[in-house]
Amino acid sequence: MTIRARAAAIAAAMVFGAAPMTAGAQEFINILTGGTSGVYYPVGGALSKIYTDGIPDAKVQVQSTKASVENLNLLQQGKGEIGLALGDSVKFAAEGNADVGFPEPLDKLRGITAMYPNFIQIVASEESGIKTLADLKGKALSVGAPKSGTELNARAILEAAGMSYDDLGKVEYLPFAESVELMKNRQLDATLQSAGLGVASLKDLSTSIPITVVSVPEEVASKLGAPYVAETIPAETYDGQDEDVPTVAVINYLVSSDAVSDDLAYEMTKLMYENLDSLKAAHAATAGIDVQNALKGMPVPVHPGAQRYYDEVGVKAE
């Protein structure tokens, strides 16, 4: 064999030998979100683009789910790399709570970051006459998909107000968009939706029929305690809403699992914070995301990869 031929053979062997390493380096990132008419889904879509553009060879997909409870169970099972969930759901998952969908504590969950608050938004048709929580008695209310984060919020809000599902005339367990369609057709009096402000489903509803945004008094927030806080839905958030409306809110978290490598968790955290403009362009609800609040109230251990990023930028746990 000539020297030239031998060199060519060595070069070819190096190329073929390197191929499995390249293929093996591909990262699979399944982003767990919620219904397509909520806030989780567009936020997941924005993260998908950020990760696709920023992580070489990453295969990224966005999965529409029933949101918080399902997302946390899927992460525990290794069927997703990162997902969105409400703070109270994350807390229940870490502790284990069979009543809400966690028969055993989910010990593989790892926190990435606090995101934005979900506002409990109770919206009634104007013709229903509902203006207060007490007015819901005997009325038909949709409380979100069964054992979703929204439905857990609904139970908690009613209990803090001295009520239960038994006080309602009818309870529907429906996703946001389906709840809105029933209200448009006068088959439902009100919907409770736990989401970022300006959620698409309620914007659609408010442009279709006259609505009333139902207030949740501050004393309900006080009775609930952490992770709930008193908040306000600003006037003009929805068509026909002329005044500020008091309510309660709970923080959303971005959660991963211990099956995700430290390097990938680091990259996902770093890229999100380096591309906040893209995330905020996806939905107004994300406008308040701030790295200084990333570890605020985190209900599960922080992923070591995410912690590496926070150490670099000087963010401390509260």
Q: What DSSP letter does each residue of 166-229 carry, written as one string?
A: GGBSEEE---HHHHHHHHHTTS-SEEEEEE-TT-HHHHHHHTTS-EEEEP--HHHHHHH-TTEE
Does residue 9 lie in a domain region?
A: no
Does residue 13 lie in a domain region?
A: no
Does residue 90 lie in a domain region?
A: yes
Domain identity same for 170 and 57? no
The helix (run of H) or strand (run of E) holding residue 18 is helix 3-24
**Quick one: pLDDT at residue 146?**
84
Q: Is the dihedral of CA 159, 161, 163, 167 positive or negative?
A: negative
**Quick one: pLDDT at residue 38?**
85
Domain identity same for 226 and 291? no
Domain identity same for 43 and 101? yes
Instruction: Quote the CA–CA distance of 38 and 67 in Å, as a whole number.
Output: 10
Does residue 6 lie in a domain region?
A: no
Count up the domains in the chain and report the number.
2
pLDDT, tens digit (0-9, with 9 covering 90-100), for 184-206: 999 999 999 998 898 999 999 99
Does residue 318 lie in a domain region?
A: no
CATH code where residue 234 lies: 3.40.190.10
Does residue 186 lie in a domain region?
A: yes
**Residue after which a domain boundary falls, among 219, 250, 281:** 250
Residue 272 domain boundaries? 25-115+253-313
Does residue 1 lie in a domain region?
A: no
Instruction: Quote the CA–CA distance of 9 and 15 in Å, as a whole number.
Output: 10
Instruction: Quote the CA–CA distance of 176 and 104 in Å, as a whole number.
Output: 28
Regions of the chain with pLDDT less than 50: 1-24
Domain identity same for 146 and 222? yes
Domain identity same for 141 and 258? no
Instruction: Quote the CA–CA distance of 255 and 33 in Å, as a whole number.
Output: 11
Task: Break the chain down into helix, strand, coil percent, rounded to 5.
Answer: 45, 25, 35
**Quick one: pLDDT at residue 25?**
64
Domain identity same for 141 and 220? yes
Alpha-carbon torsion angle 29, 77, 91, 273, nearest 10: -10
